[in-house]
Structure 1
Amino acid sequence: MTDRLQIKPVLQRPVRWLGLGLCAVFLSACAVGPDYKKPEMTTPAQFKQAEGWRQAAPSDALARGAWWELYGDAQLNGLVEKLNSSNQTVAQFEAQYRQAKALVRSARGAFFPTLDLSASKNRSSQGTGSSSSSLTSSSSGIRDTYSTQLGVSWEADVWGKLRRGLEADKASAQASLADLASMQLSLQSELVQNYLQLRVIDEQKRLLESTVDAYQRSLTMTQNQYRAGISGKDAVAQAQTQLKTTQADLIDLIWQRAQFENAIAVLMGQAPADFNLAATTVIPALPQIPLELPSQLLERRPDIAAAERSVMAANANIGVAKAAYYPDLTLSMKGGYSSSTFTNWISLPNRFWSVGPQLAMTLFDGGQRSAEVDRTEAVYDQTVAQYRQTVLNGFQEVENHLVQLKVYEDEAGVRTEALMSARESLRLTNNQYKAGLIAYLDVVNVQTTALSNERSVLTLLQSRLIASVQLIAALGGGWNAESGLNIQE
């Protein structure tokens, strides 16, 4: 059970009401609850895997925002721009952000007086108390009342409840904006990765097509040698097996490419049936990625900014909960006209007015307010822990992708040397086979090794490109908190 004490005197002099209002404005300079302080977070001086990377400078391309332009592919740029404007998941988060901005405007509106206008007509009757009264006398007890009223009310934010509420809504809107940026960055990263993998598949497809042509020529030559009695039937079977296996691998690439193409279409808000991406002969090159300091990661990653703004909102909500312990002060004024006849309804004798404050507070609520304060403080502690964990996850992702790219770079050097040796071995083996010095089985083994090395180099290039995208995303892309969290409304 909740008891609420209400005091609403009517002051005869509006000057007193005005004085009370000015007093309330003066008192509203205070606000209960803790003022926000950003949670402390220890950051390392540099990334553990930063050796060999250069520190970012203000002129770096990454700071421009369109980080995907680092790959220098005009078609990719167009696809990402289409995603930014047409992706349905981005549209959902953008709508959530507009909802959060509307709540900010609503919270600001609570600081202003509320003005109400009403007009009404009421018909009422009162019995005469005599059961023998006639119909005519009964009708004479019916009375019409015409009334119009203009009212003004204003809640004085004496204890800062409204200000803390606005602070919480603004922080929530900023968190929503950061969530939008985080989702957009994630989807952009996904599209760029799909595009790069598709382009590597195009190159693998060209490799297998040329290999199939080479194996077809080897099969033809082996068949001719078999007819001439130079080679055995086993050599023809080996050549046939090698050709068909490579053709099957080529067919499998069609399905793999279609998956990436369809994924890109959906990311851009299109049906896969309406989208086709023509093959090209160029794979985007690995970009030069500038590295931020670890402390700058807190400002460059939108997910970290969203977590930090959630802490700010939770802190403000503690003040809102604590303000419930204090009385609410509402200043109101009403005035209008009331009459039993329509003809002289709006006239000086029929006017009425009232003005005065209303002070209301809860005397007993069974511990509800105390429980709400405890709940909001627990929510604050939860959001602080989530923020710190988000920061740690961010550091982990950057470190992982740094070492991943470094290992891939070292591996690429070794695999390139292996590929050069495989190509030379294949050239020498083919010459020996044509001279009749070795059996075709030796050629098959060398060809298989050479093709495996060719595909391994392409697969490694694909992995390096994907890791570069993931590193850029882990660094926050081109987003930054200074320009990305400006709530004006």
Structure 2
Amino acid sequence: MRLHLPVAAVGLTLALAGCASSGGLHPQGAPIDPSSLATQQSLAQVSASEASWPQTDWWVGLGDAQLDALMTEALKNNPSLVVADARVRAAQAAAGVTHADLLPRVNAGASVAGARLPASVPALGNGHFGLAKYAYASFSWNPDLWGGRRAAWQAAVGEARAAEVEAHAARIELSGNLARAYVQLGYAYNQHDVAKAELQRARLARKLTRQRVDAGIDNRIQLEQSNAEVATAKQQLAQAGNAIDAARNALAALLGKGPDRGLKIARPQLLPPSKLAVPADLPANLIGHRADLVAARWRVEAAGKDIKAAKAEFLPNLGLSALAGVIGFGGGNILDLPSRFYTVAPALSLPIFDGGRLRNNLRGKDAQYDLAVAQYNQALVGAVNEVADDVDALRSLRQQVAAEAQALAAAREAWTLAEQRYKAGVGSYLEALTVRQQLLAAEQRMAALKAQQSDQSVQLIQALGGGYTPGNGQVPPATAHASAHTSSSTDNRS
């Protein structure tokens, strides 16, 4: 006995010294500090106000009743939103399964079986048919000594929260895409109007040119040029009609309906562009107003909890199980005292050699954390620069619209003068139609610029979060450096 104790002590010491270790493994990524993303110079000429954040139903402020109705229809039972909601329920169910690992398990069962046991083996039976009856109840529980299972559950909750936020992001994306398609439909109608007017002008110009050719004033070169203008105008009119059909189909798809639904959409008015302004302290506040950034932060938090759960697997694990029941053979009463049985089995396990499974699992969790951090950083940098790009584009479009307004006014004045000259008998109507062509081109450019303004305004609204406000439980804990997630008692060697 005296010899056995030292041998056991030596064996335990060697086992502990050679057990699996998590030493030397840690993630490398760190979330970017939003304050390091400077925007003061880039947005210096833009007014800043907290009121610049979009409202949840920002489209109502545009004053288009048809657009309001389309938004309500699109956000109700849309297939893309059903997909997002189903992913939320799946993630919540996965979190529920992980939570169950924290709790004890109790099972019960009973069975009656008939069998003929061979008489050739007297210890088993006598060669006659008999019944075997049993009933049991079992209990098992693995205490979460190191918090690994709780960390795994928290990671699953983080993934579920990310899925919830991404469902909001899907709604924001849908509303933005619907507004942009609505703008595109209005622009397509404007293009159709200009193309129709151009076709009428080209046909009239060809008629006058044919008269001049017949009178010997012009030659057939001018007539063929007029024919080419008419053909080009027809092509542009057909293209504009196709653009209307395509925009209607796009709206119908966003509504989750067939193409016939698009035919019922009336011609929209051009949506007014939003005011050029950004919220104060944009990078820091943008995190809480963009669903994609909130979801990315949840995934960083979940990845950190996964690391803790993986480290807990290196440590000793305690388990407790118990089984009690009754069993009987033949026609006897199984509730008799001799037929009862029970077992109690506490167990202790410690990983010693696993071929590197635990270390590689932890190494993979570290990589997943670095990936989540990198994706969050990429999303944050992209979001801030996206806002700056949209602001610059809107600022440029305002300047372009102002310049084009001057060109349009000049073209209208030229058309007025050309008509006056024709009526006064000074100039020909063919010359006036040439001026008219310049006016139509200016009107087409102005329509395109205003459509770009409206579209860019919607993009800015989306870049600022589309009116998203995190609900209860959707705000993730503050993301910190990986050491904040991984510094715990699990860093010790097992």
- TM-score band by shorter chain is 0.7 to 0.9
Which amino acid counterpart does residue 265 of structure 1 have in structure 2? Answer: A
Q: What aligned pairs does 1:117-196 form with structure 2 within 5 A after superposition?
A: 117-123=108-114, 127-129=118-120, 139-140=127-128, 143-196=130-183
Q: What aligned pairs does 1:201-350 form with structure 2 within 5 A after superposition?
A: 201-213=188-200, 232=218, 242-280=229-267, 282-288=269-275, 290-292=277-279, 293-350=282-339
Q: 1:370 to 1:218 in 2, by over 3 A?
A: closer
Q: C-alpha displacement at 1:274, in angstroms?
A: 4.1
Structure 1 gaps, min length 5 = 1-32
Q: C-alpha displacement at 1:270, in angstroms?
A: 1.0
Q: TM-score, normalised by structure 2?
A: 0.81
- Between stretches 145-154 and 331-340, larger displacement belongs to 331-340
Q: Distance in 1 between matches of 2:116 and 2:428?
A: 118
C-alpha root-mean-square deviation of aligned residues, in Å? Answer: 3.1
Kept in 2: contact 1:47–1:294 (CA 8 A):
no
Q: Which residue of the partner structure matches residue 388 of structure 1?
A: 377
Q: C-alpha displacement at 1:433, in angstroms?
A: 3.2
Q: C-alpha displacement at 1:351, in angstroms?
A: 2.5
Q: C-alpha displacement at 1:474, in angstroms?
A: 0.9
Q: Could you say what secondary structure the match of 1:196 adopts?
A: helix
Cα displacement string for residues 413-444 of structure 1 (whole angstroms, at most 9, x for unaligned residues): 00000000011111212332344433555334
Q: Distance in 2 between matches of 1:301 and 1:86?
A: 23
Which amino acid counterpart does residue 92 of structure 1 have in structure 2? Answer: V
Kept in 1: contact 2:276–2:394 (CA 8 A):
no
Q: 1:448 to 1:483 in 2, by over 3 A?
A: farther
Q: Distance in 2 between matches of 1:360 and 1:119?
A: 31
Q: Which residue of the partner structure matches residue 455 of structure 2?
A: 466
Cα displacement string for residues 457-489 of structure 1 (whole angstroms, at most 9, x for unaligned residues): 0000111111111111111111133558279xx
Kept in 1: contact 2:130–2:330 (CA 8 A):
no
Q: Which residue of the partner structure matches residue 31 of structure 2?
A: 39
Q: 1:242 to 1:440 in 2, by over 3 A?
A: farther
- Between stretches 332-341 and 470-479, larger displacement belongs to 332-341
Q: Distance in 2 between matches of 1:281 and 1:91?
A: 28
Q: Distance in 2 between matches of 1:100 and 1:442?
A: 70
Q: 1:399 to 1:63 in 2, by over 3 A?
A: closer
Cα displacement string for residues 140-194 of structure 1 (whole angstroms, at most 9, x for unaligned residues): 4x55321101112222111112101111101111122222222332232222111
Q: Could you say what secondary structure the match of 1:156 adopts?
A: coil
Q: Distance in 2 between matches of 1:202 and 1:241?
A: 24
Q: Which residue of the partner structure matches residue 363 of structure 1?
A: 352
Q: C-alpha displacement at 1:89, in angstroms?
A: 2.3
Q: 1:237 to 1:439 in 2, by over 3 A?
A: farther
Q: Which residue of the partner structure matches residue 62 of structure 2?
A: 71
Q: C-alpha displacement at 1:324, in angstroms?
A: 1.1
Q: 1:281 to 1:95 in 2, by over 3 A?
A: closer
Kept in 2: contact 1:222–1:231 (CA 8 A):
no
Q: 1:232 to 1:433 in 2, by over 3 A?
A: farther
Q: Could you say what secondary structure the match of 2:287 adopts?
A: helix
Q: Could you say what secondary structure the match of 2:182 adopts?
A: helix
Number of equivalent positions: 445
Q: Distance in 2 between matches of 1:473 and 1:166?
A: 33
Which amino acid counterpart does residue 311 of structure 2 have in structure 1? Answer: K
Q: C-alpha displacement at 1:125, in angstroms?
A: 5.5
Q: Distance in 2 between matches of 1:241 and 1:443?
A: 19
State whether structure 2 residue 400 is matched by structure 1 residue 372: no
Q: C-alpha displacement at 1:456, in angstroms?
A: 0.2
Q: 1:236 to 1:129 in 2, by over 3 A?
A: closer
Q: Distance in 1 between matches of 2:148 and 2:136?
A: 30
Q: 1:187 to 1:441 in 2, by over 3 A?
A: same
Which amino acid counterpart does residue 252 of structure 2 have in structure 1? Answer: A
- Between stretches 440-449 and 325-334, larger displacement belongs to 440-449
Q: C-alpha displacement at 1:390, in angstroms?
A: 1.2
Q: Distance in 2 between matches of 1:168 and 1:194?
A: 38
Q: C-alpha displacement at 1:201, in angstroms?
A: 1.6
Q: Which residue of the partner structure matches residue 96 of structure 1?
A: 87
Q: TM-score, normalised by structure 1?
A: 0.81
Which amino acid counterpart does residue 77 of structure 2 have in structure 1? Answer: S
Q: Which residue of the partner structure matches residue 431 of structure 1?
A: 420
Cα displacement string for residues 11-54 of structure 1 (whole angstroms, at most 9, x for unaligned residues): xxxxxxxxxxxxxxxxxxxxxx999x983424345454434533
Q: Could you say what secondary structure the match of 1:270 adopts?
A: coil
Q: Distance in 2 between matches of 1:178 and 1:325?
A: 33
Q: Distance in 1 between matches of 2:441 and 2:342?
A: 93
Q: 1:69 to 1:78 in 2, by over 3 A?
A: same
Kept in 2: contact 1:114–1:154 (CA 8 A):
yes
Q: C-alpha displacement at 1:291, in angstroms?
A: 1.9
Kept in 2: contact 1:204–1:455 (CA 8 A):
yes
Structure 2 gaps, min length 5 = 1-24, 477-494
Q: 1:40 to 1:284 in 2, by over 3 A?
A: closer
Cα displacement string for residues 392-413 of structure 1 (whole angstroms, at most 9, x for unaligned residues): 1111111111100000001100
Q: Distance in 2 between matches of 1:406 and 1:260?
A: 27
Q: Distance in 2 between matches of 1:324 and 1:208?
A: 71
Q: Could you say what secondary structure the match of 1:457 adopts?
A: helix
Q: Distance in 2 between matches of 1:170 and 1:296?
A: 24
- Between stretches 250-259 and 397-406, larger displacement belongs to 250-259
